[in-house]
Structure 1
Amino acid sequence: MQTDELASRIRNGERRALARAITLVESGRADHRVQARALLDALTATPGQALRLGLSGTPGVGKSTFIESFGILLTGMGHKVAVLAVDPSSARSGGSILGDKTRMERLSRDPAAFIRPSPSQSALGGVARRTREAVSLCEAAGFDIVLIETVGVGQSETMVAEMTDLFILLMAPAGGDELQGVKRGIMEMADLILVNKADGDLKPAAERTRADYAGALRLLRRRPQDPEGFPKAMCVSALEEAGLERAWDEMQQLALWRREQGHFDTRRAEQARYWFGEEVRRGLLARLERDAAARARMAALGDQVARGDLSVARATSEMLETLGITS
């Protein structure tokens, strides 16, 4: 399919074309990268600015159940929702299960929703390498809410905060020392902490957990992009679909305030600058790996480090000098 035709079909909201385009941008083949860049350039002028929501949480906290219930709530309000779910890849085989559509069976059948699982591959930070480009494709296809579910490593989801407008942290009740379940770094990035599974026998524990997190959030320095009262902690039950509408109201209130104060557009500009730098760094590393002489020098220095003939610091310095870089 030609780039112009694919771009036109995406603008018309064709799901098959969108899925095909995401496969294209995720490909590492050189010819596919050229086609992907042409496609993204063709769609740059397409109007549409979706609200981008990042969702993180430890494994088993109920992210998939929450996304399904939350997504159905949003589509019922007339929104078009795209879910980009990132699954961890095996360090041995490189494969991923990619079972999010089976875990979100009701939402996957909703004509106003689109679910795309992607492998994290070697990317760090809880997201796949091309998730940011997939977000742009979903916006061009007319989705007004894009929800990014991270791999759920719990304490190192830094990249997702650089591609979303709001960062939601989903936590479980009765997890032992609650404040050790999430570290200061990720708490400082969170705009909203939702304590899930606030139902049945766990409801009192969920409320205690919420109070613990609310107290911890009050100790953090207030960020200039937050109105009074944010970030905040709330209880929800994805299973009983309780508290979801209130959580959505809070998200809308925060996003609206940031738009009115100019923080929204400023943050988008900062994110664009960040990803420009990331792409340049990745390109330089890829070019280094393709250089035969550089690979041979790296291998030789690596052998010396392995034998103990050179320290890591000395070998690094010599490699950078080989490349004409002074450390």
Structure 2
Amino acid sequence: MRKNRLSASAYVSGVLAGDRVVLSRAITLIESTLQKDRLLAEQVMQEILPHSGRSLRVGITGVPGVGKSTFIERFGMQLIEQGYKVAVLAVDPSSQQTGGSILGDKTRMERLSQDKRAYIRPSPSGSTLGGVSARTREAMLLCEAAGFDVILIETVGVGQSEIAVKGMVDFFLLLMLAGAGDELQGIKKGIIEICDALIINKADGENAALAKRARRTYANALHLFPPKENGWIPEVSTCSGLSGDGLEAIWEMVLRFERHTRANGTFERQRALQRKTWMREHISYLLLQAFYDNPLIRGQLADVESDVAAGTVSAIATARALVERFREAKNEPEKPA
């Protein structure tokens, strides 16, 4: 074990005591791809599991320039003032290539990041969304075990990251802007279908009237979608992350959602389904990693990829052949060192 690693019991006791330094070190541990660290991380996660699950998990996404950082800081500060402890995590599948934006977000969330009742942490970068979201889920459970009551999970990237976040939260919130011409242009239908609330941000100053009109447009659009299985009807609201107007109503909406879904049993059913999905997704992720890490596959991949790119061989047939070779290699007895 490396010198900067603690024992499993030290990680667990530190996290349960709410020690922010140990919490950060525990999240760093789950980010590691080293086999020894992964085994230690699994032991830590198993021991903290009974102490997790008591928070409300809220996902937040939005179009570029919608003001997510300002919204999250003001929203988080409001929750802190009401007595909650708030953790902010970010899912950014592109961070390995771009560096992501969480460090900038943390700088902009200056008040929130300096408050001891809040904790801000970027999602660990990875080469696949499966790796990113799996570690975000583990970070979320660690934050819950450390005593945080509300977990805000922000999508920093675009595309599949919204689906990933929806699969790990209780309530999914979509931030939008008003006055961008066609109010529904550029919004993916799939994202609207999975959101539990649609919030028009920056509803202040000259934008106030535009936000009201946008609210009516979005409300009418949501009526075109079929009702959700949990019986919740997505709500449309306006707010100003800058002034804080409307944020209290948004939190009341989240609490109404919790009461509604707990009452009809869908809250826990959704979490149970998420846990099973997490396991299946991680199996897929681990198998994919094992495939590409296999020496035989690594040795052949570059050659066959050039043939596929040139169009001289079938991509489907080549993929099947590689998988068959991987299976054969896994069945071979290990050679003595």
Kindly report which structure 2 residues correspond to 1:311-322, keeping only aligned pairs within 5 A, or say none.
311-322=314-325
1:12 aligns with 2:17: yes
Q: In 2, Cα distance between the equivalents of 1:205 and 1:144?
A: 34
After TM superposition, give the deviation of residue 172 of structure 1 in Å. 1.0
Partner residue, 1:95: 99
The one of 231, 234, 241 equivalent to 1:238 is 241
Q: TM-score, normalised by structure 1?
A: 0.92
Q: In 1, Cα distance between the equivalents of 2:116 and 2:207?
A: 34
The one of 286, 296, 299 equivalent to 2:299 is 296
Kindly report which structure 2 residues correspond to 1:117-156, keeping only aligned pairs within 5 A, or say none.
117-124=122-129, 128-153=133-158
Partner residue, 2:214: 209
Hey, which of these two has a bigger chunk of helix by percent?
Answer: 2
Q: In 2, Cα distance between the equivalents of 1:178 and 1:119?
A: 34
Q: 1:112 to 1:46 in 2, by over 3 A?
A: same
Q: In 2, Cα distance between the equivalents of 1:87 and 1:289?
A: 22
1:29 aligns with 2:1: no
1:267 aligns with 2:270: yes
Partner AA of 2:274 in structure 1: Q
Q: Name the SS for the 2:51 alignment partner.
A: coil
Partner residue, 2:335: none
Q: Name the SS for the 1:52 alignment partner.
A: strand
Q: 1:125 to 1:218 in 2, by over 3 A?
A: farther
Partner residue, 2:261: 258
Q: In 1, Cα distance between the equivalents of 2:187 and 2:272?
A: 29
Partner residue, 2:3: none
User: How many residues of Structure 1 are paired with residues of Structure 2 in the alignment?
Assistant: 322
Q: In 2, Cα distance between the equivalents of 1:297 and 1:117?
A: 35
Q: In 2, Cα distance between the equivalents of 1:28 and 1:217?
A: 42
After TM superposition, give the deviation of residue 19 of structure 1 in Å. 1.0
Partner AA of 1:173 in structure 2: A
Q: Percent identity?
A: 46
Partner residue, 1:65: 70
Partner residue, 1:308: 311
Q: In 1, Cα distance between the equivalents of 2:290 and 2:157?
A: 31
5+ residue gaps, structure 1:
none
After TM superposition, give the deviation of residue 48 of structure 1 in Å. 4.7
Q: In 1, Cα distance between the equivalents of 2:170 and 2:34?
A: 30
The one of 164, 179, 188 equivalent to 2:169 is 164
Q: In 2, Cα distance between the equivalents of 1:311 and 1:78?
A: 60
Q: Name the SS for the 1:168 alignment partner.
A: strand
After TM superposition, give the deviation of residue 296 of structure 1 in Å. 2.6
Q: TM-score, normalised by structure 2?
A: 0.89
**C-alpha RMSD of matched pairs (Å):** 2.1
After TM superposition, give the deviation of residue 127 of structure 1 in Å. 5.9
The one of 199, 216, 230 equivalent to 2:204 is 199
Q: Name the SS for the 2:58 alignment partner.
A: strand
Q: For residues 218-264 of structure 1, what are the alpha-carbon distances to aligned partners after superposition, in whole Å with 9 as ceiling and x for unaligned?
A: 1100012133xx20110011111000111111110011110111101
5+ residue gaps, structure 2:
1-5, 329-337
The one of 104, 114, 118 equivalent to 1:109 is 114
Determine if contact 1:3/1:35 at 8 Å carries over to the other structure: yes
The one of 49, 56, 60 equivalent to 1:55 is 60
Partner AA of 1:290 in structure 2: D
After TM superposition, give the deviation of residue 320 of structure 1 in Å. 3.3
1:225 aligns with 2:230: yes
Partner residue, 1:278: 281
Partner residue, 2:191: 186
Range that drifts further, 119-128 or 64-73: 119-128
After TM superposition, give the deviation of residue 125 of structure 1 in Å. 8.4
Partner AA of 2:273 in structure 1: E
Partner residue, 2:82: 77
Q: Name the SS for the 1:178 alignment partner.
A: coil
Q: In 2, Cα distance between the equivalents of 1:58 and 1:154?
A: 11
Range that drifts further, 41-50 or 255-264: 41-50
After TM superposition, give the deviation of residue 88 of structure 1 in Å. 6.0
